[in-house]
């Protein structure tokens, strides 16, 4: 693995680890502390929550299911997740290229070979349009197998 690839992979793992776990935990804990200090400690609610620990437990018990419901709503009921997935798909280079591994080594070559055998077996039974369409698809598959991309990247 070359240094540049290692550097960018490390940068990606840093962003995912920090953004998903560390920043979330720091933000969640600091939110509870700030809310306790501003809304509980200096008000009459201190009799209900005399210690930060009790408030934190209640906050986690209430916030967790609400967060799960909001996340579920986000994933299933809003267009936000669909937009996220659409942008991620468009940005993914493997949408336009063959994925290395079994797809490049077995699946696509086998599909090309199968299509070529079917083309030979069909002989004159295919119309000129069908034969041209199949040859066009085979040309695209060959292009993919050579490591080139197909389709229009936005």
Co-location of 65 and 106 in the same domain? no
Output the pLDDT for position 11. Answer: 95
What is the spatial distance between Cα 115 and Cα 50, in angstroms, rounded to a whole number?
A: 74
Residue 152 domain flag: no
Residue 151 lies in a domain: no
The answer to whether residue 153 sits within a structural domain is no
Domain that holds residue 69: 3-91
- pLDDT, tens digit, for every residue of 25-73? 999 999 999 999 999 988 889 999 999 999 999 999 999 999 999 999 9
Q: Do 98 and 81 fall within a single domain?
A: no
> Cβ atoms within 10 A of the Cβ of 55, count?
21
Pair (100, 122) in one structural domain: yes
Does 87 share its domain with 101? no
Question: What share of residues in the chain are helix, strand, coil (percent, to 5)?
Answer: 80, 0, 20
Is 108 a member of any domain?
yes
pLDDT tens-place string over residues 115-144 = 899 888 887 888 889 888 988 999 988 888
Instruction: Note the pTM of the prediction, 2 decimals.
Output: 0.57
DSSP state of 47: G
Q: Is residue 63 part of a domain?
A: yes
Q: How many domains does the chain contain in total?
A: 2
Of 91, 106, 126, which marks where a domain is finished? 91
d(CA 79, CA 122): 45
Do 55 and 123 lie in one domain? The reply is no
Residue 23 covered by a domain: yes
In a domain, residue 154? The reply is no
Same domain as 61, residue 122:
no
Is 76 within 8 Å of 86 (Cβ atoms)?
A: no
Based on the fold, state whether residues 34 and 99 are members of the same structural domain.
no
Q: Are residues 52 and 104 in the same domain?
A: no
Q: Does 109 reside within a domain?
A: yes
Those residues whose C-beta lies under 8 Å from the C-beta of residue 96, and which sit 6 or more positions away, are 149, 150, 151, 153
Tell me which DSSP letter residue 98 carries. Answer: P
14-38 burial code (b ≥16 CB/10 A, e <16): eeeeeeeeeeeeeeeeeebeeebee
| pLDDT above 60: residue 154 | no
Question: CA-CA distance, 31 to 29, in Å (whole number)?
Answer: 5
pLDDT in tens, 88-122: 887 887 777 888 889 889 998 999 999 899 888 88
């Amino acid at each position: 693995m070359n240094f540049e690839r290692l550097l960018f992979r490390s940068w990606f793992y840093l962003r995912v680890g920090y953004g998903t776990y560390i920043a979330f935990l720091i933000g969640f804990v600091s939110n509870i502390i700030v809310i306790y200090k501003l809304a509980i400690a200096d008000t009459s609610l201190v009799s209900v929550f005399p210690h930060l620990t009790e408030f934190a437990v209640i906050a986690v018990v209430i916030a967790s299911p609400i967060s799960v419901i909001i996340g579920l709503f986000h994933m299933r009921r809003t267009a936000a997740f669909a937009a996220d997935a659409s942008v991620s798909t468009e940005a993914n280079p493997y949408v336009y290229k063959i994925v290395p591994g079994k797809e490049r080594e077995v699946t696509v070559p086998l599909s090309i070979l199968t299509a070529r055998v079917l083309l030979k077996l069909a002989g004159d039974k295919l119309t000129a349009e069908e034969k041209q369409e199949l040859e066009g698809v085979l040309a695209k598959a060959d292009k993919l197998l050579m490591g080139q991309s197909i389709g229009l990247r936005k």
